[in-house]
Amino acid sequence: MIAATKRKVLDGMNRRYIYGRVPLLHTIIFLIEMAVAARLAAKFNTYYAEKPVLTTMVTNAVLGGVADTVAQLITAFRHRSQQRSLEDNDFISIEIEDLDKQRPPVVGESGYIKTAPPPFDFERLTRFMAYGFFMAPIQFQWFGFLSRAFPLTKANPTTPVFKRVAFDQFIFAPFGLACFFSYMTIAEGGGKRALAQKFRDVYLPTLKANFVLWPAVQILNFRVIPIQFQIPFVSCIGIAWTAYLSLTNSSEES
């Protein structure tokens, strides 16, 4: 009995080591993306002066990839924490199981089936990068429209900023979220039913979360940031937002 208990303890410790490791592939991909983003940042003005739309598209794609990688890292670490919690329960249940050999183990006790940490989802990463890439020209035209429709003046710079924010949040934000969830659902192979369910379950909560974060960000963006940096600024701030969207979309998918 003692030998069997020791084997179970060692097996549990080995599993805890395996599930406790930092997801190496996720981290490597994140570091590569950050290196590319740093390169883009260093040469952004030069690239933007030559090809503004393409530069914006590539920047959006890279930052969208960073955001989804962050989301996948969060998911991996969540899985690790849950697994470690279950392993702790296993240590408590080992002696109880030895005392009651006739009772089969149930879920949560020693011997239940462990699930492997989620592998890095390259298809999901590609979807997010493609969305950022193809959405950039629309954002480019939209920001240009706002700057022309509501030009900032030295006499009254505040009112045009609030008009830009109002137009952006009440027109473009609902449209952008609708594009995001529609694109992701279709790219994942979902049909009309899946799309309707996603809009029913997550669209309005996500739009409400948008209204909490983005008005303040856009006030700063339109008031302070030069126009060529406005989309990259939004994309940088949007890393956390896009990670939230990625987690929301993937949780709904699962």
Helices 204-224/227-253 angle, 10° precision = 170
- Long-range own/partner contacts, residues 189-197 (CB < 8 A, 24 or more apart): 197/252
Tell me how many domains the chain contains. 1
Q: What is the pLDDT of residues 166-218, one digit of tens each?
A: 999 999 999 999 999 999 999 989 889 999 998 998 899 989 999 998 999 99
Q: What is the pLDDT of residue 3?
A: 52
Domain range for 16: 2-253
Residue in this structure with the two tokens 């020693």, named with its chain if needed: 110
The set of residues, in sequence order, having a beta carbon less than 8 Å from that of 30 and lying 6+ positions away, is 66, 69, 70, 73
Q: What is the pLDDT of residue 54?
A: 95
Would you give the DSSP letter of residue 100? -
* Lowest mean pLDDT, pick from 24-38, 89-103, 195-209: 89-103
Helix (H) or strand (E) holding 185: helix 173-187
pTM of the model: 0.75
